[in-house]
Amino acid sequence: MKILLLSYYFPPCGGAAVQRWLRFSRALVKQGHSLTVITTEDGDYPYMDESLLAKLPPKLKVLRSRPLGFGRLWSILGQKHLPYGSLRTEKRDSFITKLLYWLRLNLIVPDLRIGWNPSAYKLAEKELKADRYDYVISTGPPHSTHLIGLKLKRRYGIQWRTDFRDPMSDIYYLKLSPPCALTRYAHKYLERKIIQCSDLSYIVSSSIARSLPQGHKAVLYNGFDPEDFAGLSYSRSDSFRIKFAGQLTAGQDPSPLLEALNCLKDASKVEFSLIGTRDFPASEFPLRKLPFLEHRKGLEEIVNAELLVLFINSYQGNEGMLTTKLFEYIASRTPILCFGNHGGEAAKLILGCQAGQICQTGTQAVDMINREYEAWLAGREHRCFGDISMLDVNNQVNRLCISLDSLLQTEQDS
């Protein structure tokens, strides 16, 4: 098949947002499909990771256009970072910060990356006129990218598929910092229009699929790429290493973990590390802080650990939240300590893969950490061995490539 992908985040962008379609792209090309990616040049990225460029297949065609970015304006107005993962403000924030966040929350729909749409649309239009594609896929967040696909669909009648890595109108940071009623209506309207006009929508989890408007939908997990872990193996050290990788986003509460760490019976050999985490509450327990790492080095860190911490954002309707790093956590074979809903999809995946345990309180976390710590002291092998083959990215791509009619029939049968 010949596919045109619209994705704001793509290497050299780093972090979680880029991993899903970086993996899918490699697997698609490996299976013999033709893929052209339209993405940004000098976009407003949360992180940069130049090492990811080496992972792009030589046969992958990448076209870039410059967005009308808000990052520079944001910095001129005295802000450190463009909002990413949270639209909350604190009492200590300045008036200008609170005003900017209010304007972003209530007047910019669906998101700040919409400034990329005009240049991306022109590039996509030029490519569609020059070559034939079986279908176009737009992936979000940022969900403004779907508006490019919607415009192409209306103009050219193309086969258009959308990819939702998070909900749109009910994305966690809008649930925790709700905009005004008129803006909420605008988000809902665009979401409904996108789902109804697309030929098929790939959704990252079953719960999110159920929460979105009616339309042709299929669940497509993020998955992990076994090649990313080639040559990596666990090595025991003198410390029991607990690690958290990535950012704390709105609704993630680390207080039960900190409570548990401070209540451990014997913490003399316990080491807690933060990897690439900008903001984390002050703690009496010593913290080992590492900067944002290239992807390969980040994987080395999570493989060489005794326990990995995962926080599921707390908000109404969070059952379908599946963070990108969850799949790499599972693939690392390191036990996972997940703070979240026992009935959520993340919990079901972790328990189904025998990859860890779910906790909601500090007391529950203390019990698990102490058990794992005592097993480590006794010299037992500290790995998980459940069947995780279903999460292999190659299996997910097989599902992505099924014809529309076959995929819809599969959904009905299941």
Predicted local confidence at residue 86, as pLDDT: 65
Which tops the pLDDT comparison, 28 or 177?
Answer: 28
Q: For the residues 237-266, what does the mean pLDDT come to?
A: 90
E-state strands within 251-402: 270-275, 287-290, 307-311, 336-339, 356-359
pLDDT at 372 over 60: yes
Nearest residue to 328 via CA among 275, 368, 250: 275
CATH 3.40.50.2000 fits 2-68+113-223+392-413, yes or no: yes
Predicted local confidence at residue 180, as pLDDT: 94
pLDDT at 77 over 80: no
Predicted local confidence at residue 94, as pLDDT: 73
Q: For the residues 169-180, what does the mean pLDDT come to?
A: 87
Nearest residue to 83 via CA among 191, 65, 73: 73
pLDDT tens digits, 199-234: 999 999 999 999 999 999 999 999 999 999 999 999
Predicted local confidence at residue 137, as pLDDT: 97
Domain with residues 226-390, CATH architecture: 3-Layer(aba) Sandwich (3.40)
Predicted local confidence at residue 82, as pLDDT: 61
* 2-68+113-223+392-413 and 226-390 agree in CATH topology: yes
Structure tokens at 361: 């309180």
Integer Cα distance of 261 and 257 in angstroms: 6
Amino acid occupying residue 355: A
pLDDT tens digits, 129-150: 999 999 999 999 999 999 999 9
Percent above pLDDT 90 for the chain: 66
Predicted local confidence at residue 413, as pLDDT: 47
Cβ neighbours for 296, distance < 8 A, ≥ 6 positions apart: 51, 228
Confidence of residue 300 (pLDDT cuts 50, 70, 90): very high
Q: For the residues 7-28, what does the mean pLDDT come to?
A: 93
Predicted local confidence at residue 83, as pLDDT: 61
Predicted local confidence at residue 79, as pLDDT: 64
Confidence of residue 80 (pLDDT cuts 50, 70, 90): low
- Cβ(3)–Cβ(28) under 8 Å? yes
Helix, strand, coil % in the chain, rounded to nearest 5: 45, 15, 40
Cβ neighbours for 73, distance < 8 A, ≥ 6 positions apart: none
Q: For the residues 56-71, what does the mean pLDDT come to?
A: 88
Integer Cα distance of 76 and 80 in angstroms: 9
User: Given strand 307-311, what is the order of strands in its sheet?
Assistant: 287-290, 270-275, 240-245, 307-311, 336-339, 356-359
pLDDT at 55 over 80: yes
Predicted local confidence at residue 227, as pLDDT: 93
Predicted local confidence at residue 355, as pLDDT: 95
Locate the domains of the chain by residue range: 2-68+113-223+392-413, 226-390
Confidence of residue 65 (pLDDT cuts 50, 70, 90): very high
